[in-house]
Amino acid sequence: MIEENVKKLLEEIPAYNAYGEKVTLVAAVKLQTADSINRAVRGGITDIGDNHVQEFRDKYALIEGKPRRHFIGRLQTNKIKYLLGKVDLYHSVDRYGLAEELSKKSEKAGVTSNVLIQINIGNEETKGGFPLEEAEEAFKTISALPALNVEGLMAMLPATGNETLLRSLARAMRKKYDELNSNGASFKYLSMGMSGDFKLCVEEGGNMIRLGTAIFGKRSV
Ligand SMILES: *Cc1c(COP(=O)(O)O)cnc(C)c1O
């Protein structure tokens, strides 16, 4: 099932892509066994994203095929040390304190960390990230840190069935991404889209999507 889901998704995704960019599918692997993750990799997954540091550590050596590793969950600064040099892209830089610590610890370890700046596009209290209005300031401050390389923006759309609202938020994200890109940034990724909303996110210009349920089926949490 998992391998077939991946194959179908990889075939399906380009059809939604209105921007002509490569759309990267990141498998969101929280709560999945190493065996399930390896099935997804066999199906064609090249990128996997973890939410929890403990799970990342437990399964790190068990993953086959050397997929690129993403960290997509909320990150506590005291856990950075377990990820340094192992994560190819941190999606969820949602506050200045985290950016500063990640830079400091990366520098000490002699690595550069690739990051995305998380935007709280729905202004939700339960979600981290900078308000959209602060995106430019956050970009300037974070890209000035010595050991970070800012490669784009990340957003989680609110859990609503209101497609008009979702589209307008996704469009606002793409607009900000393009604006910063023509204003000094050299972004490559707009990480936006989960199982419930990835079609519209890709249609509106997301070029990196993070799918869990659509690949692995329903999780208990
Ligand atoms: C769990 C998770 C996803 C995937 O969610 P699905 O709805 O299962 O596709 C994507 N992004 C983040 C940050 C997540 O925590």
Tokens representing 14 are 């380009």
CB 81 within 8 A of CB 105: yes
Query: Exposure pattern of 65-93 as b/e (b: 16+ CB <10 Å)?
Result: eebebbbbbebeeeebeebbeebebbbbb
> Is 39's C-beta closer than 6 angstroms to any atom of ligand 1?
no
Mean pLDDT of 124-135: 97
Helix (H) / strand (E) element for 117: namely strand 113-119
pLDDT (tens digit, 9 = 90+) per residue, 79-105? 999 999 999 999 999 999 999 999 999
> Is 74's C-beta closer than 6 angstroms to any atom of ligand 1?
no
How far apart are the CA of 31 and the centre of ligand 1, in A?
11
How far apart are the CA of 26 and the centre of ligand 1, in A?
10
pTM value is 0.97
Mean pLDDT of 183-200: 97
How far apart are the CA of 125 and the centre of ligand 1, in A?
18
How many angstroms separate the CA atoms of 214 and 221, rounded? 15
Atom of ligand 1 at shortest range from CA of 73 = 13
How far apart are the CA of 1 and the centre of ligand 1, in A?
19
Q: What is the pLDDT of residue 219?
A: 85
> Is 28's C-beta closer than 6 angstroms to any atom of ligand 1?
yes
Q: What is the pLDDT of residue 220?
A: 73
How many angstroms separate the CA atoms of 208 and 221, rounded? 23
Q: How confident is the model at residue 221 (pLDDT cuts 50, 70, 90)?
A: low
Asked if residue 140 has pLDDT above 80, the reply is: yes
pLDDT (tens digit, 9 = 90+) per residue, 19-45? 999 999 999 999 999 999 999 999 999
> Is 52's C-beta closer than 6 angstroms to any atom of ligand 1?
no
> Is 30's C-beta closer than 6 angstroms to any atom of ligand 1?
yes
Quote the longest CA-to-CA distance of the chain: 46
Mutate which of 210, 213, 220 for ligand 1? The one with the most ligand atoms within 8 Å of its CB, which is 210
pLDDT (tens digit, 9 = 90+) per residue, 154-166? 999 999 999 999 9
> Is 211's C-beta closer than 6 angstroms to any atom of ligand 1?
yes
